[in-house]
Amino acid sequence: MPTSVEDYDRWYRTPRGAWIGGVERRLVAGMAARRAGESALDVGCGTGYFTEPLARAGGTVVGVDRSLEALDHARRHRGAGAMFVAADARSLPFPDRAFGLVVSITALCFVDDERAALAELLRVARRRVVLGLLNRASVLHRTHGAGGGRGGYRGARWHTVGEARALFDDLPAGSIDVRTAVADPDGGAWARLLDRRRSARDGGRGAFIAVSADRR
């Protein structure tokens, strides 16, 4: 996490961060279509923002991250119903098909070898993997991603919708669905209206790319 853990998590409590986070959580939950009691793993969970709703729904929920500081924050603030474990996304300490659902939200963008990490996510998934990525063809990339990026986006790898889909090439995955959200990232009234009106299946210019794929 290229900014401090406290600052990163505080952003989710700003009006803009709460709106963007809420839109992303709903999109991820819809694409995950988690089954009752299904186990779930959140890879690159950071402070546990996306682990929290998984834990609230019950079942075994594990968050992994390589940052001990982020995990400590997650345990203190989002520990209810979830276990948080230190691990590298490229070498997960779980058996094959250990979790029904595996999610990884804006984490592969920071992993050196994203394809190796994605192969690991698929290895430990039994039913579905959902990724959250950053869209290079978005307004957010122009304002926060260009030239190496700034704030929490510094050092991130940005994808196009096509690149996001192609990440799964030759991996044991099918039924790939790609959607985007947060077309206007300023979080104002116009942005909110725009996001409610546009189809979630636009394959377009939203800053947040969500990809779901079923494990084959």
Q: Which residue is nearest to ligand SAM (CB)?
A: 46
Q: How far is the CB of 103 from ligand SAM (least distance, A)?
A: 8
Residue 101 and residue 30 in contact, taking contact as beta carbons nearer than 8 Å: no
In the chain, beta strands by DSSP E? 40-43, 61-65, 83-86, 99-105, 125-134, 173-181, 208-215
Q: How far is the CB of 26 from ligand SAM (least distance, A)?
A: 14
Q: What secondary structure letter does DSSP report for 23?
A: H
Q: Which of residues 91-150 bind ligand SAM (CB under 6 A)?
A: 105-107, 110-111
Beta bridge partners of 178: 211
Beta bridge partners of 177: 212
Taking the C-alpha atoms of residue 12 and residue 143, their distance in angstroms, rounded to an integer, is 19
Asked if 88 interacts with ligand SAM (CB under 6 A), we say yes
Q: How far is the CB of 22 from ligand SAM (least distance, A)?
A: 13
Residue 41 sits at the vertex; the CA angle it makes with 86 and 85, to the nearest 5 degrees, is 15
Q: How far is the CB of 31 from ligand SAM (least distance, A)?
A: 15
Taking the C-alpha atoms of residue 28 and residue 96, their distance in angstroms, rounded to an integer, is 23
Nearer to ligand SAM, 154 or 199 (CB): 154
Q: Which of 45, 124, 137, 140 binds ligand SAM (CB under 6 A)?
A: 45
Asked if 89 interacts with ligand SAM (CB under 6 A), we say yes
Nearer to ligand SAM, 65 or 195 (CB): 65
Closest CA to 210 of 47, 77, 29: 29
Radius of gyration of the chain (CA): 16
User: Strand 173-181 to strand 83-86: parallel, antiparallel, or no bridges (unpaired)?
Assistant: unpaired
Asked if 49 interacts with ligand SAM (CB under 6 A), we say yes
Q: How far is the CB of 197 from ligand SAM (least distance, A)?
A: 25
Token pair 């009691």: residue:
37
Nearer to ligand SAM, 70 or 209 (CB): 70
Q: How far is the CB of 179 from ligand SAM (least distance, A)?
A: 17
Nearer to ligand SAM, 52 or 195 (CB): 52
Asked if 67 interacts with ligand SAM (CB under 6 A), we say yes
Q: Which residues bind ligand SAM (CB under 6 A)?
A: 1, 44-46, 49-50, 65-67, 70, 88-90, 105-107, 110-111
